[in-house]
Amino acid sequence: MPQSREANVPVTEDVIREALREEIVRVKQGAVALADVQDHLPLFDVNEDDAENLGLDSLDALELAVAIEERLSVQLPNDLDFKEVPTIEHLVAYIARLSQRDGAGVP
C-alpha cells in the first residue's frame, strides 16, 4: 500500500479526501474555507448559473495535481482530464482506483 509522505500514513480514501480538501484551501490561498470544501461541489465553475463550486481554474488544477502527487506519493497521468473527475468525491475514487490498478490497494 502506498504511504503518504506525512509520517508514512497509509493512503486510504479518508487520507486522500483530507489531503485534497487541505490542498484546495492552500491552492485557493484562503479564498475558500476548509469547512466550505464539500465533497459534492464542482471543482470548477462549469456552469455560469451555478454559484456553488470551489472556483478552481486550470492553473489551480495543475498546482493541486502536483501537490497531491508529492503529498500522497502517487503518480497522476499527465493527461488527467478534470472534467472526468469534477468533484472531490470523484477525484478520491479516481485516485483510489489508480492505486488499486498499480497493485497497491486502497482500503
Residue 75 CA, distance from chain mean position: 12
Residue 91: name the closest of 50, 67, 33 by CA: 67
CA angle 79, 82, 83 (to 5 degrees): 115
Write the pLDDT tens digit of every residue in 41-79. Answer: 999 876 666 668 898 999 999 999 999 999 988 899 999
Residue spans of the domains in the chain: they are 13-101
Write the pLDDT tens digit of every residue in 5-36. Answer: 554 567 799 999 999 999 999 999 989 999 99
What CATH number is given for 13-101 in this structure? 1.10.1200.10
pTM exceeds cut of 0.85: no
